[in-house]
Amino acid sequence: MPVTRGQRQFGPQSTRRRWLSGLCGLALLASGCQNAIPPSDAQPAPPGAADRAGPPSVDVALAKTATQQTTQDYSGTTQPFREVAVRSRVEGYVLDMRSDVGQPVRQGQLLARVDARLLTSEAAEAQAEVSARELEVASSQAQIGEAQARVGEAELQLQQAKSDLDRLERLFREGAIAEQSVENARTAVGTAAKALQAARQQVKTRQQTVAVARRRVAAQQAIADQARQRQDFALVRSPLSGLVLAKLLEPGSLAQPGSEIIRIGDFSQLKILVRLSDRALAGVRLGQGARVRLDALPGQEFTGRVTAISPLGDAVARQVPVEITIPNPDGRLGSGLLARVSFAQAATARVTIPERALAVADLADRAPGGPGGRGGRSAGAGQSAANAPDPTQGTVFVVQGEGEAVTVAPRVVQLGSRFDGQVQVLSGLQPGDRYVLRSSGPLAAGDRVRLSAISEPAR
């Protein structure tokens, strides 16, 4: 078939040329990609390259003391100064309630009445028994009078018998009568004497009977008084002045002895209970002043005082309850309000450092070598990642040596109050110690460092 102009004939030679052209293109593309790879990625940095860059530069500061009056807020809840549960002392149905929740009451004011009909009958019965006992006393006293009259008669009879004996003995001596008459007179005297003794003993017995009857009257009178008192218990009165906090029974409810009827709170003062750690408790004493702020009344501050420190603390949380009392003369403050209490601590001079000095140790913890060295992350670093940091403890790097042989070492410090970017160091750092304030890189124990131009010189 003839080939016209504009057409190409594809044969084996043409196909070979196209295949060679494709190979050349792939070779050129591979060469271009190799040249585009950065040298740092194409070949890893040799070990120790970072060390040959020189020791890190650090800003060094001197530990100094500063005086700061620290305060710390503690949260608590307002409570009535006194809270009393008024309970029924007798059994009976509640007839009526004279006060409702939130109403003010005065001491001695009638709050409720309990059905006292049964108590009234008991009191009347007890009083009737008292009257019966009093009649017994009167009867015994009358018997005493009779016995005393018999004593008088016996005395007269004895006196008459003695007179007859004297007369008969005189006649016997004169020989006017026989001896038998004298013996009979003597027997009559003895009989009269025994009758007098018996009459006197009867008087003593009647007197003892009266004493016993009077004691019975007193005992029965006490029973009657108790019955009348129980009758008065049916009138439930307020033991203090305050506000009604809760009403537990309604009219028609059966009140048992000891069942709570109403609850009253004294709001002339308010109590706030806060919990302090054993370390914070050392700066608090009875009678110490405290500042109280309530979220319900923003912008207002109240002055209170420490009225009680519990002798029993929480052995698990290591906290001790402390009671603060604030005045509330107008009664505008209520119960259950969130209160924030702060105690003014005595101003003390302590070592104070910037908080950013603690960040140097945090940078070391995040470094691949960790704070234990350059050989990899330590086991302690893994544990610290799993546990929340202790806000009362930190680590700073202290500077050791002079000149070209300056090294750093980590030191654990106990931390106190924080204010304005500063933190108090309670232990672990002494005034004049040099510590790292800022570092250009992670630090580890024993690392050599370069002091920056703004570092404070040693004293």
Contact indicator for 247, 101 with CB cutoff of 8 Å = yes
Q: Please tell me which residue, 457 or 10, carries the higher pLDDT value.
A: 457
87, 119, 173 from 254: Cα distances, Å: 12, 15, 95
Burial 186-213 (b: 16+ CB within 10 A, else e): bebbeebbebbeebbebbeebbebbeeb
| Residue 340: pLDDT over 50 | yes
Amino acid letter for position 135: L
**What does the pLDDT read at residue 15?**
41
Compute the distance between CA of residue 268 and CA of residue 249 in angstroms, rounded to an integer: 26
What's the rounded Cα separation, in Å, for the pair 208 and 202?
Answer: 10
Amino acid in position 411: R
Q: At what angle do helices 179-233 and 117-174 cross, to 10 degrees?
A: 170
- Predicted confidence at residue 137, as pLDDT, reads 85
Question: What confidence category does residue 32 fall into, taking pLDDT thresholds of 50, 70 and 90?
Answer: very low
Confidence of residue 40 (pLDDT cuts 50, 70, 90): very low
> Given a cut of 80, is residue 148 above it in pLDDT?
yes
- Sign of torsion over alpha carbons 219, 223, 228, 232: positive
Per residue in 342-359, pLDDT (tens digit) is: 987 666 788 999 999 998
Average pLDDT of the segment spanning 86-93: 92
pLDDT tens for residues 294-333? 999 998 999 999 999 999 988 888 899 999 999 998 888 9
pTM: 0.50
CA distance 238 to 346: 44
Q: Helix H segments across 37-116?
A: 39-42, 49-52
- The residue that leads in pLDDT, 291 or 33, is 291
E runs forming strands in 215-316: 235-237, 242-247, 254-255, 260-277, 289-294, 301-309
Q: Are 226 and 45 in contact (CB under 8 A)?
A: no
Residue 352, SS3? strand
Report the alpha-carbon angle 243-248-253, nearest 5.
135
Q: What is the mean pLDDT of the chain?
A: 81
What is the percent of the chain with per-residue pLDDT over 90, rounded to a whole number?
Answer: 42
Distance CA 81, CA 267 (A): 6
Give the β-pairing of 301-309 and 289-294. Answer: antiparallel
Per mean pLDDT, which range of 234-243, 271-280, 298-307, 343-352 is the poorest?
343-352
CA distances from 179 to 158, 227, 350 (A): 21, 73, 126
Q: For the chain, which domains are there?
A: 57-67+350-451 (2.40.420.20), 118-231 (1.10.287)
